[in-house]
Structure 1
Amino acid sequence: MAVPKRKVTRSRRNMRRSHDALQSVNYQEDSHTGEYKLRHHVDLKTGMYRGRQVVEPKGDY
C-alpha cells in the first residue's frame, strides 16, 4: 500500500491544485451575425472563418 514518506506542505499541495481552477471561455461577438462564438473556430451556422466561406452552412435550427 502506498504511504507518503513525508507530509505534503500546504504550499506544495496548493501549487499542485492551482491548475485545477476553471478557466473562463473565450467568447467573442461575431461581426456578421452578432451572435457569440468561440474565437479561432468556424461559425457552423454561417460556415465563415475570418471572413471566408470555409464550410457549407448547416440547415435551419
Structure 2
Amino acid sequence: MANRQSQSGTNIQQVRQQNAQSAGAGQYGTEFASETDVQEVKERNARAEANKAKNSGQMGNQSR
C-alpha cells in the first residue's frame, strides 16, 4: 500500500500506525508520564489540603 498524503501533506498511513500503537497502550497522556514527579505532586496536594483545612477553620472568626 502506497503512502498517501492528505491535502495538508500528512502521511495518512503513518498517522494510522501511530493511532493503532497508542490505542494499544491503554494510557492517556503517556508522553508526559515520565516528566511528572509523583512524589512532588503528592506533597503539593497534601500542603494544599492542609492549607484548605486551616483556612476554612478561620472563616468563622472573621469580623466585619
TM-score scaled to structure 1, two decimals?
A: 0.30
Structure showing the higher helix proportion among its residues: 2
Q: Which of structures 1 and 2 has the larger relative contact order (alpha carbons within 8 angstroms, sep 6+)?
A: 1
Structure showing the higher strand proportion among its residues: 1
